[in-house]
Structure 1
Amino acid sequence: MKPRNVAITATAGAAAGVLGLTVLALPAGAGAAPELPPVSPEQLVESVMRAAPPALSGTVQVDNALGLPALPAAGQGGELLADGTSQVRVWADGQGRHRVSMPSHGGEVTVVDDGSTVWKWDSAERTATRVDAAHEPGAEHPQADPAAAARDIIATLRQTSDVAVDGTASVAGRDAYELVLTPKPSERTLLREVRVAVDAEKRIPLELSVHTNGSDAPALQVGFTDLQLAAPDPALFRFTPPAGATVEQAPRQHRPQAPQHPQGEHRVVGDGWDSVLVARLPEQTSAKDRTDFRQLAERTGRPVSGPWGNGWVIGTAAGNALLTSDGRVAVGAVPEQVLIAALGAA
């Protein structure tokens, strides 16, 4: 069997972060809003940044109305970026070990990180891929729990946003403050605001919703529908390939800014709301996936060209994606002109 994309969905995970989307789901719980002590926006943001990652287990639901199709060879994250509803199960021990299970076509994809080794198990393909995390300190692995991912988004957007606290909510049975980040007028983005429900006690993000201009309904709602703040069984963070499985060793992972690395190369151009992810299909991508990639672009996109080459733009109210004929992808919650400029810069 030919090697698969062994970046363990890092590219798709980064795309989610760039769009202001992340794996965090249903609207805040119905009923009366809980009464909580007042807190200033600055105090709430700082408490989120200081909060220690807790041990937890739970179910995350992603309700997606972005209008983007699943991208071939983008990994499981590509399916989560497609329209519809998905559920993800997450576990974390609070000490750097994580487990995430996601649905896939015909099975389930599970990522297990024991702190030194990351395993990706694809039950449909019966393939286990191993990444030694110690190979590259600081290398990206999208194994973090949803609360950590949403915290990263707050850290990324806070300097380019107007921040406010807009009441309270109940999420997965827990009281929460509603934190709202609105892009400053100088930001070139198609998004109107990002709302994060922050746990009143633990100060961890419980829910995230992304709103676009011209629509009252969120383009994306992601959050916990079930959450237990207790240490999971330690056995969940150990993985042994099942009998008969194909076992693959991932090549050395390099930091995203290393442009010479040919496998799963990606980088972020810009910062804050203007961020654009630029990625390239890895060399191991099968001929079928490359064909599917091009057919998707031709079927759903509008042809464009420039000094960077030629490709197709897929536009939605929440952002744009540019797929090029040579296998590059640029995606962001920005106008088309910003996307094309980022592709040329990358």
Structure 2
Amino acid sequence: MDPKKKAITAAVVGTALGVGGLVVVAMPASAGDAPKLPAISAEDLVQSVMTADPGPFDGTVSVSNDLGLPAVGGAIPGMSALNVDSAHVFSDGTGKAKISLTNGASQETIVRDGTTVWDYHSSNNSATKTTIPADVATQHDMGAGELADPATATKELLAKVRENSTVSVDGTANVADRPAYELVFTPKPTERTLLREIRVAVDSQTRMPLRLSVLSNGTTAPALQVAFTDVKFAPQSADLFTFTPPQGAKVTEKTAKVDDQTKALADEAKQDTKLVGDGWDTVITGKVPADALSGKKPAGASGAEGRNADPQQLLSRFAKRVNGTWGSGYLFTTKVGGAVLTDDGRFAAGAVPEQVLYEALGQK
């Protein structure tokens, strides 16, 4: 299988390769002739996407990336997700969801029924059952990122770039055998970004986004793609959202909670992290934990939860040494953005040229 055509749940969109909080994804070519649909204004189409409630559905989601990321295996969180071969997403339309991920002969199954999340790995026949108390579920959308889909990603994206974009409807397309409008967001001339445009294929009937796309400056091929390859809008069987571990499976049970230490760490991270700029040229800045660059395992971590590689060796191998009035550190770039990690633990990341990253680091 072409490594650029791996299929994967859209969870990756929200977790693996967002730059500066901006979801960056791209689309494949449309199949067949463009369908004929009633004319609609760009503003009306945007509004219908933001308020869409497609109800229950199931579908296969695919991701194809041409970011030029280094092959670092599991050394960087989220990177291994790009090697998943296939994914199937189920939703009952009320918050219950299931994702089946396949990679070679192994499979991971994630099921959420509202108050419980199961995460099963066939490779070692192990499962984790997490119970979500009502107060925690209210304060924190537990598991939402894991069980995302293109519609969720699109709404987050539109909130980031809508006011700083020229918005248009660029014809129609067939996506997952469904007629769709092509909604296009182009950065205004004042935006300093490496991205040229973002495209959203919107289902003509349900108004649910079926495909998200981005093109970067200086390239003709998509940088990263997420799309439904097939989708069906229909009631889902209730037994899809229940899970029974296979015989002999090792089951670990835990309860989701936000203890004082977790709250303190979250508050500290919030204080240390800020957004510089807005829209397309937003840069997120902050500090990494002290042990992140030391190669030490976080407190309480063991095995796969610990470090998989020496961070300093990874930086030396895959990033460029840089310095300026802001200090010194390492620059990592892709086709759609970059990040700088300073020697004293500060970082800046965004879908912007490197000079914009340096300017953000220099702000107090």
Cross-structure match for 2:111: 112
> By how many angstroms is 1:11 displaced?
7.7
Contact 2:328/2:342 (8 A) holds in 1: yes
User: 2 CA distance for matches of 1:158 and 1:324?
Assistant: 31
For residues 40-69 of structure 1, what are the alpha-carbon distances to aligned partners after superposition, in whole Å with 9 as ceiling and x for unaligned?
A: 100100011111142111101101001123
Match of 1:218, SS state, is coil
Q: Supply the AA of the counterpart residue of 1:245.
A: K
**Structure 1 length as normaliser, TM-score?**
0.80
Q: 2:301 matched to 1:301?
A: no
Looking at structure 2, the residues matched to 123 and 295 of structure 1 have their Cα atoms a distance apart, in angstroms, of: 32
Aligned to 1:4: none
Partner residue, 1:12: 15
Judge which range, 228-237 or 166-175, deviates more.
Answer: 228-237
Identical amino acids, percent of aligned pairs: 42
Query: Offset of 1:272 from its aligned partner?
Result: 2.5
Query: Contact between 2:34 and 2:173, CA under 8 Å: does it hold in 1?
Result: yes
Distance verdict in 2 for CA 1:123–1:206, change over 3 Å = same
Q: 3-state SS of the aligned residue for 2:160?
A: helix
Shift of 1:210: 0.9
Match of 1:144 among 144, 148, 156: 148
Indicate yes or no: 2:209 matched with 1:205: yes
Gaps of 5+ in 2: 1-10
SS in 2 for 1:111: strand
Is 2:281 the counterpart of 1:274?
A: yes
Which whole-Å CA distance do the structure 2 matches of 1:138 and 1:39 have between them?
A: 38
1:96 maps to 95
TM-score norm. by structure 2 comes to: 0.76
Tell me which structure has the larger Cα radius of gyration. Answer: 2
RMSD: 3.8
Match of 1:245 in 2: 250
Asked if structure 1 preserves the Cα contact closer than 8 Å seen for 2:150 and 2:212, the reply is no
Asked if the contact 2:13–2:153 (Cα under 8 Å) also holds between the matched residues in 1, the reply is no
Matching of residue 26 in structure 1 with residue 28 in structure 2: yes
Equivalent-residue separation in structure 2 for 1:289 and 1:58 (angstroms)? 34
Gaps of 5+ in 1: 1-7
Aligned-partner residue type, residue 111 of structure 2: V
Per-residue deviation, 1:145: 2.3
CA distance in 2, matches of 1:223, 1:112: 21
Q: How does 1:176-255 map to 2 (within 5 A)?
A: 176-242=180-246, 243-247=248-252, 249=254, 252-253=257-258
- The amino acid of 2:315's aligned partner reads A
1:3 maps to which residue?
none
Q: CA deviation at 1:159?
A: 1.3
Amino acid at match of 1:252: K
The structure 1 residue matched to 2:356, chosen from 323, 338, 343, is 338
Show the counterpart of 1:35: 36
* 2:172/2:179 contact within 8 Å kept: yes
Kept after mapping to 2: 8 A contact 1:15/1:331: no
In 1, Cα distance between equivalents of 2:119 and 2:333? 31
Compute the displacement of 1:209 (Å). Answer: 1.2
Aligned to 1:18, the other structure's residue is in SS state: coil
**Number of aligned residues:** 332
1:123-162 CA deviation, whole Å, 9 max, x = no partner?
A: 3353425262641534243022222222221232211111
Secondary structure of the structure 1 residue equivalent to 2:179: strand
Please state whether the residue corresponding to 1:232 is helix, strand or coil: coil
Per-residue CA distance 1:307-337 (angstroms, 9 max, x = gap): 9875422212211133566887654312224
SS at match of 2:47: helix
Distance in 2 (CA, whole Å) between partners of 1:216 and 1:90 is 30
